[in-house]
Amino acid sequence: MKFGGTSVGNIDRIKNVAQIIKKSIKDGNKIIAVVSAMSGATNDLLKKANEISNNFSDEEHDLLLSTGEQVTSALLSGALIDLKIKSKTLMSWQIPIITQGGHKNSRIISVNTEKIKKFLDQKYVVVIPGFQGINENMNISTIGRGGSDATAVALAKCLNAQHCEIYTDVDGVFTTNPEMNIRAKKIDKISYDEMLEMASLGAKVMQSSSVQSAMLNEIEVYVKSSFKDVKGTKILNQNKISYEKVITGIAYTLDDSKITLQSVQDRPGVASSIFKPLYEKNIIVDMIVQNISADNLKTDVTFTVKRSDFNKTIDIMNNLKSNLNFEKLISNNKVSKLSVIGAGMITFPGVAYKMFDALSKKNINILAITTSEIKISVLIDEINIQDAVSTLHHVFDLD
């Protein structure tokens, strides 16, 4: 059971989490509880580090940020003990949870389960701080923001858990962001692939790399509210879901920008010369669309980058101009990527048509289109996003 920052956001909430665990013990479960820092705590620590130095040591950064989870672990364990439940916090160096890679962004590579099992066998709840481990130098490491999800999934895998429960402040995964569309509904079951698309497109229920790791290891994940005792969302294998609807969810971004290079030469090596300098500057490129060249001489290339990289990208492209000989650079830094996601579309025809038709009836222009097996994404002007989301939500029967 993993409890996110808001679920342990104050003392009453921590006591409430202890009650949730107590109930699960009554149902006959052995439990490992993974906790996040209290909401806002990690950001507060980061702020302090920045006040000390804008070049704060990476090693000390990890040591500092790891304390947030240590606080909630001890408080939760204390709350359980107060309820006469045997409980023990194990810090990552006591277990140990071994990580690899640089500070701030390490990944868990192994968990020694011996001590954990020993306590579980003696009917203890084992409380473990999320988001951290120790590296080959025996230093404390952290595994990236939102990393407690990854800790929970890694533990579920190494201990062969029946499933992994992610407790949060919403009732589950929704068909779209309820703040954007009041008709959004909770999804009962969603496949790993669909959840991965939703998560990487901004459905902030779970860190997307931890969804990927659950998928690779086939760990069933249940997303639930820690505030309400209602059924949440199950994330599982596609073959365990019978699809009644073609589309499972609608996701969108609000931080994209689009760049088009018009009339670049159509010869081998051009695409690589465009994207190499972006790679060298660590800029992540998302949608890439190259037109078919009508005359075999010239073509257009369109791609999107995050808005925060927009200015840097424009500069890089302008520097390439003499080399690539394109005619014109067209850009728009207020675009949104809007995606309909659903494994049902693998066997169902006409999804693209239905989507484009609905958008056209609302007079919303499509700037670019990309697809995968279970997703169709279009780029539109951000100003249209609310209208587009509610239209598609309705058309695909999700209201």
- Please identify, using beta-carbon distances, which residue of 145 and 306 lies nearer to ligand ASP: 145
The number of residues that bind Mg ion (CB under 5 A) is 3
- Please identify, using beta-carbon distances, which residue of 106 and 313 lies nearer to Mg ion: 106
145 makes contact, choosing from ligand ASP, Mg ion, none, with CB < 5 to 8 Å by partner type, with ligand ASP
Cβ count near 353 (within 10 Å): 9
- Please identify, using beta-carbon distances, which residue of 9 and 344 lies nearer to ligand ASP: 9
Q: Please give the Cα distance from 375 to 355 (Å, whole number).
A: 11
**Between the CA of residue 221 and those of 206, 254, 310, what are the distances in Å?**
10, 27, 36
Residues 120-159 that bind Mg ion (CB under 5 A): 146
Point out which residues bind ligand ASP (CB under 6 A): 5, 36-37, 42, 68, 130-131, 145-148
Structure-block tokens of residue 236: 């599982």
Structure-block tokens of residue 190: 């969603």
- Look at the block and give the residue holding tokens 């989507």: 355
Alpha helices (runs of H) in the chain, residue ranges in sequence order: 11-26, 41-52, 58-82, 114-121, 148-158, 192-200, 208-216, 270-280, 310-324, 351-361, 385-395
Judged by CB under 5 A, the stretch of 28-36, 268-276, 286-294, 389-397 that binds Mg ion is 28-36
Taking the complex as a whole, how short is the minimal distance between the CB of residue 33 and ligand ASP, in angstroms?
14
Q: Rule CB under 5 A: choose which of 2, 3, 4, 77 binds Mg ion.
A: 4
Contacts (Cβ under 8 Å, ≥6 apart) of 40: 5, 9
Taking the complex as a whole, how short is the minimal distance between the CB of residue 101 and ligand ASP, in angstroms?
16
Taking the complex as a whole, how short is the minimal distance between the CB of residue 57 and Mg ion, in angstroms?
24
- Please identify, using beta-carbon distances, which residue of 7 and 304 lies nearer to ligand ASP: 7
Structure-block tokens of residue 231: 């059924």
- Please identify, using beta-carbon distances, which residue of 119 and 131 lies nearer to Mg ion: 131
Q: Which residues bind Mg ion (CB under 5 A)?
A: 4, 36, 146
